[in-house]
A and B are shown apart, each in its own frame.
Chain A
Amino acid sequence: MNRRQAISRMAILLGGTLSAPTLSAMERMGTPSVNSADFSLTETQRKILAEVAEHIIPKTNTPGAKDAGVPAFIEMMLKDCYKAPEHNSFITGLVNLEKKNFLNQNKTEQIATLKEVEKENKELMKAYSVKQIKVGDNVDKESMEGKVGVPFWRLVKELTLFGYFTSEQGVTTNFTYEPIPGKFEPIKVQKGQKVTYH
């Protein structure tokens, strides 16, 4: 069986690359930890999550993260596909934003806050002593040492992109969607031209 194709097929579904922290979290899935039913957000946390997702993928001439149902998708994914370390780091991230009174900030302040979070994320990622492991053909995995979860910003950004660019609204309004291409051939493209979803 051709591994490259199979993994690229998965990669296509995941949007072109396999995110290392996601794979790391996936790897933990086999090991029992907390009951995923334990994961839930408060109403305030839900509102913060929705605003953060919308900041990452705002409504423009195409739908935004909220239109595409991304906030609820993220909560569901965390509950179903992640375990305690990511549940904890995700909620920590939301709690931190709550402490900063995120919901009462204006748009400009919110963007400044998220830029701060993005900056902190870089340090957090380093601190998790990320180690590169090759898990298969063309797939790198970063293995997090210990039981600390993938940082909040990394999780929310990845899941926003994933949720949005695999949603019907996200796919069909931003790309040309061709479920049945019927042929394969090299072509020329112009920058700015609408891209065919792969």
Chain B
Amino acid sequence: MNINIDAIKKQTYDAIVVGSGISGGWAAKELTEKGLNVAVLERGREIKHVTGYETATKDPWDFAHRGRPDNMAAEQYWAGMRTGYTANEEHRYLFENDKENPYIEKRGGFDWLRAYHTGGKSLLWGRQSYRWNEEDFMANAKEGIGIDWPIRYKDLESWYTYVEKFAGISGQKEGLDVLPDSHFLPPMAMSAPEVHLKNAVKSKMGRPITIGRTAHLTQPAAHHTAIGRGQCQFRDKCMRGCPYGGYFSSLSATLPAAAKTKRLTMIHNAIVSEIIFDEKTQKAKGVRVIDQITKAVTEYYAKIIFLNAGAIGSTAIMMQSKSNRFPNGMGNQSDQLGRNIMDHHLGVGASATVEGFEDDFVYGRRPSGLYIPRFRNWGRDKREYVRGFGYQGGAGRGSWGRGTNMDGFGADFKAEMTQLGGWNIGFTGFGEILPNPENRFTLSPDKKDKWGLPVLEFEAEFGSNELNMRKDMANDMAEMLEAAGFKNVTTYNSTTTHIGLGIHEMGTARMGNDPKTSVLNKNNQVHEVKNVFMTDGACMTSASCVNPSLTYMALTARAADFAVSELKKKNL
């Protein structure tokens, strides 16, 4: 890069956090609350909490195409179209235009959904919040897959509690080893057919079903309202941004908490192109930033750097940080940067129709579903594949949309469409993906984006373990729906889903004890550059089958605590 040094503005902070999403928000909160002056560098535009949620309170008729993506949007948001919802008129203002932010699918396919703005994907997440269990941290070592985690459940347990209290997780205590209980706010309710399923599956198959554990304030505590958050209003318009702060996001929770300390500086439109390595101290001394609008270059300096740009974004920055010491990317002695991309595989499950319950319905729109914890390869169960899957889903009644598939038209038909249809129920599996070093991304040797940064090239495919697991994911669900006596049980198993569709991208800079085989140590510290921390999905050594965000929160709070104590000891 050819830069006019005189033109470079230089700014110094105690800590730099790259990215303001779910883990970056936590890093900002923890580091500022522990007394550090922190700059959060967000590559995207500024979105203000409440006033920035431009579609949040719109009615269906306020959208030009009533929500549907038009041809132009479909072409521009080509990766978003694969999800079936992110390119919608209600949501796409919070997702990136894929045409303007291209990436290359070199082998297999990869769905890379990006959200470049304040709060990142914390505005868009599914809010499902589950602790990992003890086995999740030991499975790699027991099965000889990938490398062992350098931490165990007990290392994270108190941090889970810590982040749960602040974030606010609604759920039901179940006392299960497979799905450790969180510190809960009151659970959301189940509809009548859902209660029926829960009871039938428990009594006939011994499998527990619980209400989705969701980062919504079902009963806000004083520390929630103190930062401006309110109770969930059950609108189920979450992905548009919540003006009530009903669900946890960086905008509703961690960034306001960080701002309260008066030690937070938010810098938007700041694309971090690389981390600057100081050969003398063998530490990072700051980051180089390209303004996404003006393309002006600025350098920011700090004692510690937290990379929270997402599993792909953070690792891409490390790859781009080349120096004499690190010709192949910062901290990449292990050659593990960019490898072991994981996600949760989905698009497989079963659905059914429910007879009866005609006079049952629900008031309000629950922004969550039911959760069926993993039961395969658990306890005495042993399958031909390793690891397992959980299910998420629920029941609902047909509305006017069912008319498309029905015969008839006219006054009676119209009247019928205004009445409730029968109940349907469906669940989809979320399966664990194994770490595979061949599932990876690299920097394109020749293609650049509009800021002159290398375009990313992905190679990602499911392996036999995932594909074998999917058969059970479909059949097991059908069996449970049948056990409940539901009718027209049908399974589905998409053959066209890619890694990335879950938008739970993980891996790419894994934690481990050995610098030869891992990028980060047990404190999320880059083995070879001690003042750089990665605490987003990049750090994950395996994937579990539960949604990952809660674990990123706990890991980030833990790493921030460690970083500040190391700073105080003058070790960084």
Name A residues whose Cβ lies closer than 8 Å to a Cβ of B.
1-19, 23, 26-27, 29-30, 32, 36, 55-58, 60, 76-77, 80-83, 111, 114, 118, 133-140, 154, 157-158, 161-163, 165-168, 171, 174-175, 178-192, 194-196, 198
- A6, B126: Cβ atoms closer than 8 Å: yes
- A13, B502: Cβ atoms closer than 8 Å: no
| A168 to chain B: closest residue by CB | B61
- A138, B503: Cβ atoms closer than 8 Å: no
- A1, B121: Cβ atoms closer than 8 Å: yes
- A188, B236: Cβ atoms closer than 8 Å: no
Query: Restricting to B117-137, which residues have a CB under 8 Å from any CB of A?
Result: 121, 124-128
Please judge, given known A-B contacts A58-B411, A136-B501, whether A185 and B362 are in contact too, CB under 8 Å.
yes
| A154 to chain B: closest residue by CB | B404
On chain B, the number of residues with a Cβ less than 8 Å from chain A's Cβ atoms is 97
- B410, A5: Cβ atoms closer than 8 Å: no
Which B residues touch A175, using CB under 8 A?
Answer: 418
Which A residues touch B401, using CB under 8 A?
Answer: 11, 14-19, 161-162, 165
- B88, A77: Cβ atoms closer than 8 Å: no
Please judge, given known A-B contacts A30-B74, A136-B84, whether A5 and B364 are in contact too, CB under 8 Å.
no
Q: Looking at the complex, which one of B57, B191, B367, B421 makes contact with A179 (CB distance below 8 Å)?
A: B57
Please judge, given known A-B contacts A1-B125, A6-B126, whether A185 and B428 are in contact too, CB under 8 Å.
no
Q: Looking at the complex, which one of A77, A161, A184 makes contact with B365 (CB distance below 8 Å)?
A: A184
| A35 to chain B: closest residue by CB | B71
- A188, B359: Cβ atoms closer than 8 Å: yes
Beyond A135-B496, A167-B61: 4 further Cβ-contacts under 8 Å?
Answer: A16-B402, A17-B402, A56-B410, A188-B359
Q: Looking at the complex, which one of A3, A32, A81, A171 makes contact with B346 (CB distance below 8 Å)?
A: A3
A76–B71 CA distance with the chains assembled, in angstroms: 12
- A184, B366: Cβ atoms closer than 8 Å: yes
A139–B426 CA distance with the chains assembled, in angstroms: 10
Name B residues whose Cβ lies closer than 8 Å to a Cβ of A.
57, 59-61, 64-72, 74-75, 78, 81, 83-86, 88, 90, 121, 124-128, 188-192, 212, 233-239, 346-349, 351, 358-369, 392-394, 396-405, 407, 409-411, 413-415, 417-421, 426-428, 492-494, 496-497, 501-504, 547
- A157, B494: Cβ atoms closer than 8 Å: no
A81–B65 CA distance with the chains assembled, in angstroms: 8
- B400, A189: Cβ atoms closer than 8 Å: no
A179–B244 CA distance with the chains assembled, in angstroms: 13
**Whole-angstrom distance between the Cβ of B61 and the nearest chain A Cβ:** 5
- B60, A13: Cβ atoms closer than 8 Å: yes
Q: List 17 A-B contacts (CB under 8 A).
A: A1-B503, A3-B126, A4-B394, A6-B239, A8-B396, A10-B85, A60-B411, A76-B65, A167-B61, A168-B59, A179-B57, A184-B363, A184-B366, A186-B192, A186-B361, A187-B361, A189-B360
A114–B407 CA distance with the chains assembled, in angstroms: 11
Which B residues touch A60, using CB under 8 A?
Answer: 411, 414-415
Which B residues touch A23, using CB under 8 A?
Answer: 84
Which A residues touch B347, using CB under 8 A?
Answer: 134-137
- A2, B547: Cβ atoms closer than 8 Å: yes
A60–B410 CA distance with the chains assembled, in angstroms: 10
- A186, B190: Cβ atoms closer than 8 Å: yes
**Whole-angstrom distance between the Cβ of A101 and the nearest chain B Cβ:** 20
**Whole-angstrom distance between the Cβ of A14 and the nearest chain B Cβ:** 6
- A58, B71: Cβ atoms closer than 8 Å: no
- A26, B417: Cβ atoms closer than 8 Å: no
Please judge, given known A-B contacts A56-B413, A137-B349, A198-B365, whether A181 and B85 are in contact too, CB under 8 Å.
no
- B189, A184: Cβ atoms closer than 8 Å: yes
A16–B417 CA distance with the chains assembled, in angstroms: 11
- A138, B367: Cβ atoms closer than 8 Å: no
- B409, A29: Cβ atoms closer than 8 Å: no
- B410, A58: Cβ atoms closer than 8 Å: yes
- B419, A157: Cβ atoms closer than 8 Å: no
A181–B83 CA distance with the chains assembled, in angstroms: 28
**Whole-angstrom distance between the Cβ of A111 and the nearest chain B Cβ:** 7
**Whole-angstrom distance between the Cβ of A35 and the nearest chain B Cβ:** 10
Which A residues touch B366, using CB under 8 A?
Answer: 184
Which B residues touch A191, using CB under 8 A?
Answer: 358-359, 419
Give the residue among A167, A181, A194 with the most B Cβ atoms within 10 A. Answer: A181
A154–B86 CA distance with the chains assembled, in angstroms: 26
Please judge, given known A-B contacts A55-B409, A157-B403, A192-B419, whether A13 and B66 are in contact too, CB under 8 Å.
yes
